[in-house]
Amino acid sequence: MSPNHTPKLPLNEHISIVTGCSSGLGKALTSSIHAAGHRIVATARNADSLSYLPDGPNILKLSLDVTSREAITQSLSAAVDKFGRIDVVINNAGYALIGDTEAIPESDARLQMETLFWGPVFLTQEAVGIMRDRNPRGHGGTIVQISSIGGMLTFPGSAFYHASKHALNGFTDSFAKEMNPDWNIKFLVVAPGGIRTNFDSSMQLAARHPAYDTPEGSLNQLVAYIGNKEFRKSWSDPELCARVLFEVVVGQKERSPPRRLLMGEGAIELLVGRDFQ
């Protein structure tokens, strides 16, 4: 990063970096931010998947593997070099590892934690330093963790997914309490329920363990629940979720975002136990 050669953009024009922008909520968020006229750094493992965004001075499209700390550092440097600062970080990249916990290989479990926990942790750590030391004094910024209702409760067959989300929530709550109020750095943990995206198609289903692979097995019930079209009708629209989140983070300039944001009716129903048992 070259602090003496970075552009000075108006403070009312937000610069956001979003991970996992190739589809789903990340794509909807990126599109909403761009449509509102703000600067956006859109990232995905494959930058070609960002072709839905036009090329232009307000957009930076980057390839980013969130399991690589070096790649995270390079992406943040590129963002600051282009736009001069970072106002909003949205940790959205992820997938679900589903399977009988006894049978999940260690390598798969570690990759789940690297993607859903350590990636956001490293990006958050580095972004806080930029917001404190590189952004205009007191301008601060906002860190948004796209967690899950699965960070507040659990389903069977998702042990490492839930572990990563619970860990991310705890990390974020603790780190937020370390902030000096003068830095003006805020944190928001978003807990969506079901969102009508291709998230289920990006699930990784591990090999089954014979002791659990029965018709009445809890994992089979979970897979049936996720694939049930009637249940999915009640899931939230990603574009609507993106607009709501954009308004909470960027639109309400006069007040800080909440620490937690439940997203969608499904999240509330699941939390009070009126849905999947």
Q: Domain boundaries in the chain?
A: 15-271
161 catalytic? Reply is yes
The whole-number pLDDT of residue 257 equals: 79
* Residue pLDDT tens, the chain, 277 long: 444 444 555 555 789 999 999 988 899 999 999 999 999 999 999 999 999 999 999 999 999 999 999 999 999 999 999 999 999 999 999 999 999 999 999 999 999 999 999 999 999 999 999 999 999 999 999 999 999 888 888 889 999 999 999 999 999 999 999 999 999 999 999 988 777 666 556 778 888 899 988 888 888 877 777 766 666 666 767 787 888 888 888 766 556 778 888 776 666 666 666 444 4
- From the list 161, 164, 186, 236, the catalytic residue is 161
Q: DSSP label at 115?
A: I
212 catalytic? Reply is no
The whole-number pLDDT of residue 49 equals: 96
The whole-number pLDDT of residue 240 equals: 78
pTM of the predicted structure, to 2 decimals? 0.87
147 catalytic? Reply is yes
The C-alpha angle with vertex 152 and arms to 91 and 98, in degrees rounded to 5, equals: 75
114-140 as b/e: b if 16+ CB within 10 A: bbbbbbbbbbbebbbebbbebbeeeeb
CATH topology for 15-271?
Rossmann fold (3.40.50)
- From the list 32, 75, 147, 148, the catalytic residue is 147
Mention every residue, 6+ apart, whose C-beta is less than 8 A from residue 201. Answer: none
The whole-number pLDDT of residue 194 equals: 72
How many other CB atoms are found less than 10 A from the CB of residue 146?
Answer: 28
